[in-house]
Chains A and B, each alone.
Chain A
Amino acid sequence: MGVLLQALARVFFLIGLFGFGGGYAIVALIRHFVVVENAWLTDLQFIDVLAISQVTPGPIALNTATFIGYKMAGVIGSVVATSFSILAPFILVLSASYFVHNFGGEKVSLYLSLLTPLTYALVLSATYSIVKESILDLGGLVIFFLSLFLVYKYKWSLVKVLLFSGILGEILYFLFPH
């Protein structure tokens, strides 16, 4: 295996292994490895991948693994990154399912409730970095509050909001070239 493929395998194995809390909680972890540590994506490209993964099937962690794997090392890279990202959870959940009758239900829910502040802190830190990096000018700020309003107040679906803000972005980008 090439050096790059090895790095992809290692990083996505670790993301799978430490990806507690699922969904947005994994975003902080992925950003750390992919943007901060390896510089495979810039912050803006990372947010683009998050946007894409909102409108495609499947968990964010798998989506980013496939995307970054392809970007760095083509189809082989995407296969390596995706399969290593599911390796640890697959083995852990499989062995846990095997031993499942040894789990006391109470103990499991105790652990879960203790994990919650950690999960929320991870989501909070991901939110902080994404808000900071994605709102770069007045147009961005307007789109941010507008889509916040549409999701929160009018319960628009995420796909609809993305389409709407994308078109709004086109107009602003056309009127005020960057």
Chain B
Amino acid sequence: MNIWSLFFVFLKIGWLTLGGGYVMVPLFLDEIVKKRKWLEEEEFMKSLTLAQLFPGPIALNLAVSVGYRLKGLKGAILSALAVVIPSFVSILVIAIFFLNFQKLKVVQGFFYGVRPAVASFMVVAIVGLLSKYKWSFIRIAILLLLSFALIFLKINPVYVILVSLGVIILWVYFFKH
């Protein structure tokens, strides 16, 4: 496999996936593991775990991780670019259009209708996540506590994230050794 075929596979997936994020994961699996057999499924899952563990968009992290595994630093850079380029180009074109035409009644009417739909997508997403999760008393308590801090106390999410990470690391260190 040469490095450019790696780049073009990621570029293809990048252009094809509207919405981004988790939508890309099955496509990566299909192209890289099943069709081209560049990685074993187990290797791929390891990269996916890494991608989820670290901050940043899953699709980008997965591309960097797989790219590095296959072609080292160059592979990681080209894979990251391949994920970024479709996103960058399409949004730039839309931003230029949108910012010039957002005052038009037609555009305003359209977005007036689209906004509640976006809200409904978020509701569907969170309901899906919450219903699949294995609940325990302590997890519900933590979720409620964190949500309360974010929504009603309006605490900066950065602090909430930092404190949570600190607690998780300490908890693992003291109770899981």
Contacts and interface: CB of A to CB of B under 8 A. Distances in A.
Interface of A: 14, 16-20, 22-24, 26-29, 32, 44, 47-48, 50-63, 66-67, 70-71, 75, 78, 82, 86, 88-90, 92-94, 96-98, 100, 103, 105, 107-112, 114-118, 120-131, 133-135, 139-141, 143-145, 147-148, 151-152, 158-159, 161-162, 164-174, 178
B50 A93 contact: yes
A29 B157 contact: yes
B3 interface: no
Interface of B: 14-22, 46-47, 49-61, 64-65, 68-69, 73, 76, 80, 83-84, 86-88, 90-92, 94-96, 98-99, 102, 105-106, 108-126, 129-130, 133, 139, 142-143, 146-147, 149-151, 156-158, 160-162, 164, 168, 171-172, 176
A120 B143 contact: yes
Given A62-B83, A169-B109, 6 more contacts: A19-B56, A23-B22, A26-B57, A58-B59, A66-B87, A71-B95
Most buried by A among B19, B143, B156, B160: B19
Contacts of A18: 55, 157-158, 161-162
Contacts of B102: 48
A71 B115 CA distance: 20
A78 B105 CA distance: 27
B109 A174 contact: yes
Nearest to B129: A120
B84 A82 contact: yes
A168 B114 CA distance: 9
Contacts of A140: 112, 115-116
Contacts of B119: 47, 127, 130-131, 134-135, 144
A28 B147 CA distance: 11
B87 A59 contact: yes
Contacts of B88: 58, 62, 66, 78, 82
Given A20-B161, A92-B55, A94-B76, A162 B146 contact: no
B80 A86 contact: yes
A135 B116 contact: yes
Given A93-B64, A120-B130, A148 B157 contact: no
B38 to A, nearest CB: 15
25 contacts: A17-B55, A18-B55, A19-B56, A22-B52, A24-B122, A53-B19, A53-B91, A57-B14, A57-B15, A58-B91, A60-B20, A62-B83, A66-B87, A89-B57, A89-B60, A90-B64, A93-B51, A97-B76, A114-B172, A120-B129, A120-B130, A127-B122, A166-B117, A167-B110, A173-B113
A40 B106 CA distance: 24
Nearest to A61: B57
A144 to B, nearest CB: 4
B124 A58 contact: no
B60 A86 contact: yes
A173 B109 contact: yes
Contacts of B151: 124-125, 128-129
A89 B21 contact: no
Contacts of A96: 50, 53-54, 65
B27 to A, nearest CB: 12
Most chain A C-beta atoms within 10 Å of own C-beta, residue among B51, B53, B57, B90: B57
